[in-house]
Amino acid sequence: MNRSRSNKFRQALIVLALAVVTVALAFLVFDQVNAIAAEQDVAAETAATGNYGPAPKLTAADYPTIAGVNSRVAVWIFAQLHLWFAAFVLAVPIFVFIIEAIGMRTRDKRYDDMAYEFIKVSITAYSLTAVLGGLLLFSLIVFYPQLFTYMARIFKGSMFYYALLFFVESAALYIYYYGWHWLQGGFKKWVHLTIGLVLNAAGTTLMLLANAWLTFMMSPAGVDPAGVFNGDAWAAINNFLWNPINIHRFVANIAYGGSIVGAYAAFKFLTAGTQQERAHYDWMGYNANFIAICALLPLPFAGYYLAAEIYAYSQQMGITLMGGIFAWLFIIQAVLIGTLFLSANYYLWCGMGRSDGARRYTKYIKYLAIVLVGAFLVWFTPHTLVLTNEELKSLGGPYHKILGPLGIMPAKNTAVNVMIIFTALSFMFYRRANKTATVSWVNAGNAIQVALYTAGIANIMFLGIYHGYFTNTVYKVAASIPQVLTTLVVIAASITLDSFIYRRSTDVGPVHWGRIPARAQYALFLLAVAFTWLMGLMGYIRSGIRQHWHIVDIMRDTSPDAFTPTLGYAANVVSVAAILFMAMVIFVFWIAQVSTSKTLPAGYWKEG
């Protein structure tokens, strides 16, 4: 009775505390909104009197130097390292929240344990994110003081609240992590989940604010052609490319977070001492890969939307991106994305060994592999080649007569849609591997599935070939939207149909978690490394298309580093940063492992 009362009292206290926090947050938000509105009023007033000056016209002497330090490379590496960790620590709480909710719904404690282990990994990464953010900030202030001053004048409000939001995020993260075992069961679990929600809301808001600053540099808004700010902070934040970047980063972060956690599980699997540990980390790796694939599938579409919006904002910028000096970068991107898809699929195929029923599907795997490699090669085919005169003569022109069209967008779009559809098919085989359908219409259902995939692939191919070979260049990209829609319809319809076919299905046998070859774990590593490197490369191009502008058309970069580097140079910087990042990630994994180790020093402590 007393315990029950005590529990109720504690619950009441928690509710009270939460209510206070909620009210405080509400006041804070209300205050912020008022403050922003007031600031905007003041700003509008001061703008009307012209209090904001134009963007400064810089000279080489306006860029301080430190002997032996290349300013651009230093800022580049710090920014990239910060971004990788930030992407990771923003993504992990999102799927930890979802996994925790799944655990609450299914009452399967394994989900809860896995979610806890995921968040444990992100705790050390969180500190590193903050440290690297500080390094980035200081290096910007030191090396690009005028740019930072100009940006701070426009974004002073959001920069201040950004710093404050760190407190909210940190508090939520620490309570979420350290309170995990305390806030267990019933009402407490709901409280814990709510804290997870606050953590995610704060983290996502931080990302949105930072995105506003970087997209302002690409598509400035709220300023006149001379860079005079009109005082409308919201206009500067809600610039043309803000939302396309928000969507792309949100999806990419989840895929990236999944891949890094997958690498953690792989590392733990490889170093596991017992079969039980291997089984646990195999299961964890599988789930991490599942998360990465789920986010990876829509990512090309988000990327396509971003590129289309860049093109819509500035045709010049769009062409520089896709058809100008950066065009070759997309060939490197093709290699990396091909690597991602192949390694994710390879891991799934290896994972089918966990189930005795998988033998029924292994004969199809080679065909999936052939199609995926074929699609990868199409994506990999360049449009134009740098040729010598003799090569040009023997080829009969700058493009190969038959393979030439494989270099243009309709072929690329076809290839990526086919890769996505076949990855979905791989996943369907994996899901089916250990199940036997019991519904009477299973054959008809399978026939519909075959028809669905065949019709979908035929439509994608038709659109690609028709627009790739037979229509005018202006209309060549027109195939992309119906192709994407076809892919989405096929995947959604197939998943829905399969869920009906396998309703009340029986298991072929127990799933043997841990029965997977070690080389499959290297596929998870490959996924993480390729993702890291790809993000670095795409970060370079996103920033690089500004070329010799700090802020496009507003503030020119006149530093000695204003030139656009070659792709090899950029790749070298990305590689150095990626090695530093992976070293830190391995350190994070090691710390997470050390935290569970205990040494009992015999005879060291006084007895009794």
Partner 1 sequence: MRQFLSVVAFTLITIGCFTAYSNYGIPQIEPAPPPKEEKLDLGSMTMDQFVALGERLFNGKGTCTLCHNSLGRAPLLDTLGDVTPGRLGDARYEGEAGNVEEYLIESLVEPSAFVVEGFGKKGTNDTESPMPDVSGGGISLSEAEILAVVAYLQERGGSEVTVEIPTDVGEGDEDEEEEEELEPREAVSDPKLLVSMFMCDACHMIDGEGGDIGPDLSGIGAARDRAYLRRAILDPNADITEGFEPDQMPEDMAEQMYVSELEILVDFLAENK
| Contact present, 361 and 352 (Cβ < 8 Å) | yes
Helix (H, G, I), strand (E, B) or coil at 550: strand
Span near partner 1 by CB under 8 A; candidates 93-101, 347-355, 360-368, 380-388 = 380-388
Told to check if 54 binds partner 1 by CB under 8 A, we report yes
Which one of residues 174, 328, 399, 462 is an interface residue with partner 1 (CB under 8 A)? 328
Per-residue binding string, partner 1, 414-453, x by CB under 8 A, is ----------------------------------------
Per-residue binding string, partner 1, 254-283, x by CB under 8 A, is -------------x--xx------------
Which C-beta is closer to partner 1: that of 55 or that of 428?
55
Size of the site for partner 1 (CB under 8 A): 67
Which C-beta is closer to partner 1: that of 433 or that of 571?
571
Residues 6+ away with beta carbon under 8 Å from 209: 158, 161, 162, 165, 237
| Contact present, 582 and 532 (Cβ < 8 Å) | yes
Told to check if 564 binds partner 1 by CB under 8 A, we report yes
Half-sphere exposure of 561 (CA within 13 A, CB side): 18
Span near partner 1 by CB under 8 A; candidates 28-36, 56-64, 162-170, 191-199 = 56-64
Listed residue (487, 352, 493) closest to 432, CA to CA? 352
Q: Is 373 exposed, middle or buried (0-12, 13-18, 19+ CB in 10 A)?
A: middle
Told to check if 566 binds partner 1 by CB under 8 A, we report yes
Distance (Å, whole) CA 484 – CA 602? 65
Per-residue binding string, partner 1, 498-537, x by CB under 8 A, is ------------------------x--xx--xx--x----
Measured from the Cβ of residue 363, the count of other Cβ atoms closer than 10 Å reads 8
Told to check if 399 binds partner 1 by CB under 8 A, we report no
Q: Which two tokens stand for residue 316?
A: 């010049």
Which C-beta is closer to partner 1: that of 266 or that of 424?
266
Distance (Å, whole) CA 355 – CA 366? 18
| Contact present, 122 and 92 (Cβ < 8 Å) | yes
Which one of residues 152, 325, 377, 442 is an interface residue with partner 1 (CB under 8 A)? 325
Helix (H, G, I), strand (E, B) or coil at 382: coil
Q: Is 602 exposed, middle or buried (0-12, 13-18, 19+ CB in 10 A)?
A: exposed
Distance (Å, whole) CA 279 – CA 239? 48
Which one of residues 1, 61, 402, 602 is an interface residue with partner 1 (CB under 8 A)? 61
Give the amino acid at 572: N
Which C-beta is closer to partner 1: that of 455 or that of 485?
485
Told to check if 312 binds partner 1 by CB under 8 A, we report yes
Which C-beta is closer to partner 1: that of 356 or that of 553?
553
Which one of residues 92, 154, 293, 332 is an interface residue with partner 1 (CB under 8 A)? 332
To partner 1, the closest distance from the beta carbon of 591 in angstroms equals 14
Span near partner 1 by CB under 8 A; candidates 155-163, 237-245, 351-359, 541-549 = 541-549
Which one of residues 11, 32, 40, 51 is an interface residue with partner 1 (CB under 8 A)? 51
Phi, psi angle pair for 99, to nearest 5°: -65, -40
Which one of residues 60, 66, 444, 495 is an interface residue with partner 1 (CB under 8 A)? 60
DSSP character at residue 478 = G
Distance (Å, whole) CA 315 – CA 321? 10
Per-residue binding string, partner 1, 221-250, x by CB under 8 A, is ----x-------------------------
Helix (H, G, I), strand (E, B) or coil at 315: helix
Which one of residues 40, 146, 194, 204 is an interface residue with partner 1 (CB under 8 A)? 146
Half-sphere exposure of 537 (CA within 13 A, CB side): 24
Report the DSSP beta bridge partners of residue 506. Answer: 436
Distance (Å, whole) CA 282 – CA 262? 9
Per-residue binding string, partner 1, 450-489, x by CB under 8 A, is ----------------------xxx---------------
Listed residue (79, 163, 162, 92) closest to 126, CA to CA? 92
Span near partner 1 by CB under 8 A; candidates 18-26, 132-140, 308-316, 455-463 = 308-316
Which C-beta is closer to partner 1: that of 96 or that of 535?
535
Told to check if 65 binds partner 1 by CB under 8 A, we report no
| Contact present, 436 and 506 (Cβ < 8 Å) | yes
- Ranges within 569-588 binding partner 1 (CB under 8 A): 570-572, 575, 578-579, 582, 586
Which C-beta is closer to partner 1: that of 232 or that of 561?
561
DSSP assignment string, 436-477 = E---TTHHHHHHHHHHHHHHHHHHHHHHHHIIIIIS-GGGGG
N residues, the chain: 608
Positions that interact with partner 1 (CB under 8 A): 46, 50-54, 56-62, 146, 225, 267, 270-271, 312, 314-316, 319-320, 323-325, 328, 331-332, 335-336, 382, 385-386, 472-474, 522, 525-526, 529-530, 533, 547-549, 552-553, 556-558, 562-568, 570-572, 575, 578-579, 582, 586
